[in-house]
Each structure stands twice: as C-alpha cells, then as structure tokens.
C-alpha cells in the first residue's frame, strides 16, 4: 500500500485580479513520476511556488505525507523533504560544483558556502564533502567538483542543480522544466536520469515539462493546467487523447511542439 506523498486540495493563488492557480486539487502517490503540463502562463510554476513555500495560496490546503505544510516558509518545507529546481537555473556561478552542493545541504542558510560550513566541524565536514562527491558522481559530474559552476555546459549545470536539490535528502523532488534549452540528445539523457531518481533513490518526482516525448515516456500520471485550472488528468495515453487537452494546446502551442505531441500514434478508435 503506498502512501500519498503530496495532496493539494482546492488550492487558489491570486496575483491581484489574476487567478494564477484556481481551485486545483491534485494527488501524487509515493514513488510516482508525475508531470504537470500546460501552455505557457497556465500557472504551473506558480503551483510549484505554492507547494514549496515561495508563495502562500489564499485558499485550499497542501498536505505533504499527510501533514499540512501550507503557510510554512520555503526553508521549513525543504527540511520536511521537498526539494526543487528552478525554470531558470539558480546556481552560485562563481562557486565550484562541490560548493554548490554543500550549500544545498543547508536549506536554512541563505549565505555563501562559508556560512554553510561554519556549523560543520571535523568528521561532520568530511562526511558532508564525501556525500557531495557521491552526488556529483550520481548526476554524472564526477571529476567536475572543482569547476566553477559558471564554466560547466548548460546540460551539466542542470544536473548540478538537481544534485544540489538532492543534497537536502528530499522525499519529493520538483523539477521545473528540467530540459529547457537542451538539445534532443541531452533531453533523452534527462529522461533516463529521471527514471534513475525514482528507481535508485526511491524519490517521488513531480516535473513541469514541455517535451511531450519525455512526459509521455516517463510519467505514471499527467496533470494538465490551462488558465490556472486543472483541465485533465490521467495516464499519458488518456491525457493525450483528451479533446480538452488538444484544444488547450492548439490555441497556443508552436508547430514543433504539436508535432512532438502527435508523435505517439492515436489508438485505432480515435483515428478518422
């Protein structure tokens, strides 16, 4: 029997007159890979920002492993076991890859790595560095520990961001457009890597993603937002053939995205 990792109930977040998230209810079982998709401006990042404590929703509740986290600060939520990456990479560019991960071990501290390390002495510091090295290796950055983050390729910076998120030992990992700006080869590697996060680290993964091949290939469940509302949810196949989803995407999506979206053949009964 699997526990519910995240349960969001009728959550609403407004910016002035705009309802960026409108009465959205969504559950993610432990061990799932769940995706949140929808056109630009649908409210996906705002949804993540509410779950991770960057914003407090005006209405509704957010339960993490059965306990409400609504109203907690971002660092408190991080300590409870939710980590995230950002749509736009947020690394300390002048710090090394290793130092960026060490900072990730201390979500309470907003200062630099020196501040993060002041609390560590002797064996504790050695253990922290050993763990950071393990994480570098897990994300495919073995040997890059001494590189300033800014010198890493874009694809490697994305992986370093994930390593930093993993450093806080989360149970739930939120990835906001992990393949944004990646080429097709890097995107395929990311798909394999997301599976490893679940299979090897036993994480529950919740991702916002535009690449439909990745979404359809990796997700146990897909939720679709449009204009702040959840308009569809289900298996990749069910969501892909939902007329409401096709309509939402037809309105806004670029041709290349639509081509990718059409790549998986429709079931026979859906063909003309």
Residue 70 interacting with ligand ADP (CB under 6 A): no
Q: Which residue among 41, 140, 145, 148 contacts ligand ADP (CB under 6 A)?
A: 41
Q: How far is the CB of 210 from Mg ion (least distance, A)?
A: 9
Stretch that binds ligand ADP, among 42-50, 144-152, 164-172, 216-224 (CB under 6 A): 42-50
Residue by residue, DSSP assigns the chain as -PPEEEEEEEEEEEETTEEEEEEEEEEEETT-EEEEE-STTSSHHHHHHHHTTSS--SEEEEEETTEE-TT--HHHHHHHTEEE--SS----TTSBHHHHHHHHT-TT--S-HHHHHHT--THHHHHHHHHHHHHHHHTT-TT-TTSBGGGS-HHHHHHHHHHHHHTT--SEEEEESTTTT--HHHHHHHHHHHHHHHHHH--EEEEE---HHHHHHH-SEEEEEETTEEEEEE-HHHHHT-HHHHHHHHHH--HHHHHHHT-SPPPGGG--
The smaller minimum CB distance to ligand ADP, of residues 15 and 112, is found at: 15
Q: Which residue among 35, 45, 157, 179 contacts Mg ion (CB under 5 A)?
A: 45
Range 103-142, binding Mg ion (CB under 5 A)? none
Residue 168 interacting with ligand ADP (CB under 6 A): no
CB 157 within 8 A of CB 95: no
Stretch that binds ligand ADP, among 34-42, 96-104, 216-224, 229-237 (CB under 6 A): 34-42
Q: How far is the CB of 206 from ligand ADP (least distance, A)?
A: 13
Q: Which residue among 1, 2, 17, 40 contacts ligand ADP (CB under 6 A)?
A: 40
Residue 15 interacting with ligand ADP (CB under 6 A): yes
Stretch that binds Mg ion, among 13-21, 38-46, 142-150, 161-169 (CB under 5 A): 38-46
CA nearest neighbour of 155 among 132, 203, 189: 189
Stretch that binds ligand ADP, among 12-20, 25-33, 137-145, 244-252 (CB under 6 A): 12-20
Cα(133)–Cα(99) distance, rounded to whole angstroms? 10
Residue 85 interacting with Mg ion (CB under 5 A): no
Residue 224 interacting with ligand ADP (CB under 6 A): no
Stretch that binds ligand ADP, among 38-46, 100-108, 187-195, 256-264 (CB under 6 A): 38-46
Binding site for ligand ADP (CB under 6 A): 15, 18, 20, 38, 40-46
Binding site for Mg ion (CB under 5 A): 44-45, 87
């Amino acid at each position: 029997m699997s526990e519910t990792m995240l349960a969001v109930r009728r959550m609403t977040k407004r910016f002035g007159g705009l309802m960026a998230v409108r009465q959205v209810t969504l559950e993610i079982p432990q061990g799932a890979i769940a995706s949140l998709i929808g056109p630009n401006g649908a409210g996906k990042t705002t949804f993540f920002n509410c779950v991770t404590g960057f914003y407090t929703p005006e209405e509704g509740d957010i339960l993490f492993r059965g306990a409400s986290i609504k109203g907690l600060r971002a660092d408190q939520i991080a300590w409870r076991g939710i980590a995230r990456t950002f749509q736009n990479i947020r690394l300390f560019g002048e710090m090394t890859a290793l130092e960026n991960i060490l900072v990730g071990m201390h979500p309470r501290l907003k200062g630099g790595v020196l501040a993060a390390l002041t609390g560590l002495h002797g064996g504790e510091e050695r253990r922290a560095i050993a763990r950071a090295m393990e994480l570098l290796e897990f994300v495919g950055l073995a040997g890059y520990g001494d590189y300033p983050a800014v010198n890493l390729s874009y694809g490697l910076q994305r992986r370093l961001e994930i390593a930093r998120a993993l450093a806080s030992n989360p149970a739930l990992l939120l990835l906001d457009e992990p393949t944004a700006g990646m080429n097709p080869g890097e995107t395929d590697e990311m798909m394999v890597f997301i599976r490893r996060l679940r299979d090897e680290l036993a994480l529950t993964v919740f991702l916002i993603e535009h690449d439909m091949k990745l979404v359809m290939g990796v997700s146990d469940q897909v939720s679709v937002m449009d204009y702040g509302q959840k308009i569809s949810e289900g298996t990749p196949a069910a969501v892909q053939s939902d007329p409401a989803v096709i309509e939402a995407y037809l309105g806004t999506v670029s041709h290349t995205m639509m081509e990718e979206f059409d790549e998986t053949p429709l079931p026979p009964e859906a063909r003309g």
